Amino acid sequence: SAVISQKPSRDICQRGTSLTIQCQVDSQVTMMFWYRQQPGQSLTLIATANQGSEATYESGFVIDKFPISRPNLTFSTLTVSNMSPEDSSIYLCSVAGGYTDTQYFGPGTRLTVL
Amino acid sequence: GESVGLHLPTLSVQEGDNSIINCAYSNSASDYFIWYKQESGKGPQFIIDIRSNMDKRQGQRVTVLLNKTVKHLSLQIAATQPGDSAVYFCAETSGGATNKLIFGTGTLLAVQP
């Protein structure tokens, strides 16, 4: 398995501000993904973080709102821009490939927007 | 496979009983399936997976069954314990674990002592 950490673990933010979430994995992985989990709901994929190129976004998610970086094979960031209360969710990164045998998730970042 | 609402289906079982959690998946082309357990305040934790060339796979106290004909997946937990209380999600994908996952709505398992 992979050991995945996310920072911050939780935050409370004001409307209109931006928050950058970091995801770090302890070994090189091929794929990194960002998911959103709204309160009481299932997980929805935001985008695939591609190393060395622009992220691939799912329908309903755009780069201006959720810019993503992936500078190397162990690290990625997701920024939630110009936040509104509707952005209050858990944001989760996952990893796959490399020495991992399946897709593993980080502990999540719990975001509350006031 | 997308979430459908705020109210999770709930399965309530007595400690020591067997639990069966069901999942209907959406894409007939999906060939890899994963069950995750999510405890309150934590990220999803991998439980067991199965590929489409198998009908059944067993782990420690857990068994996953796959019925491709009706696009149905189930997770069986033997001798359910209080520590099994959590939300359980099935996830599907095609092409293996390095591809994006589509999640089911989730089932809340409540274990009564």
* CATH code of the domain containing A84: 2.60.40.10
- Residues 40..79 of B with a Cβ closer than 8 Å to A: which? 41-46, 49
Q: Note down the domain range covering A33.
A: 4-109
Whether residue A114 is contained in a domain is answered as no
DSSP symbol at A106: -
Distance (Å) from the alpha carbon of A40 to chain B's nearest alpha carbon: 5
Longest dimension (CA), chain B: 41
Q: Phi then psi for A86, rounded to 5 degrees?
A: -65, -15
Q: Residue A43 and residue B89: Cβ atoms within 8 Å?
A: yes
Whether residue A10 is contained in a domain is answered as yes
For residue A46, how many C-alpha atoms fall within 13 Å in the half-sphere facing its CB?
28
Say how many domains are in chain A: 1
Decide if domain B10-112 falls under CATH 1.25.40.420: no
Question: SS3 for A74?
Answer: coil
Beta pairing, strands A75-80 & B19-24? unpaired
As a whole number of angstroms, the distance between CA B109 and CA B86 comes to 6
Q: Residue B89 and residue A100: Cβ atoms within 8 Å?
A: no
* Residue ranges of chain A whose pLDDT lies below 50: none
Question: SS3 for B84?
Answer: helix
Q: Does B8 touch chain A (CB under 8 A)?
A: yes
Residue pLDDT, tens place only, B82-96: 999 999 999 999 988
- Locate the chain A residue with the closest alpha carbon to B4: A41
Q: Where are the domains of chain B?
A: 10-112
The pLDDT value given to residue B17: 97
CA dihedral A44, A4, A50, A109 (to 10 degrees): 40
Whether residue A100 is contained in a domain is answered as yes
Q: What residues does A78 pair with on adjacent strands? A: A21, A68
Whether residue A94 is contained in a domain is answered as yes
Q: Residue B97 and residue A101: Cβ atoms within 8 Å?
A: yes
As a whole number of angstroms, the distance between CA B83 and CA B77 comes to 12
As a whole number of angstroms, the distance between CA B29 and CA A22 comes to 33
Distance (Å) from the alpha carbon of B4 to chain A's nearest alpha carbon: 8
Mutation site for B-interface testing, chosen from A58, A88, A90, A103 by largest number of B Cβ within 10 Å: A103
As a whole number of angstroms, the distance between CA B101 and CA B30 comes to 10
Nearest to A45 among B34, B97, B100 (CB): B100
* Residue ranges of chain B whose pLDDT lies below 50: 1-5
Chain A residues touching residue B104 (CB < 8 angstroms) = 42
Q: Residue A42 and residue B2: Cβ atoms within 8 Å?
A: yes
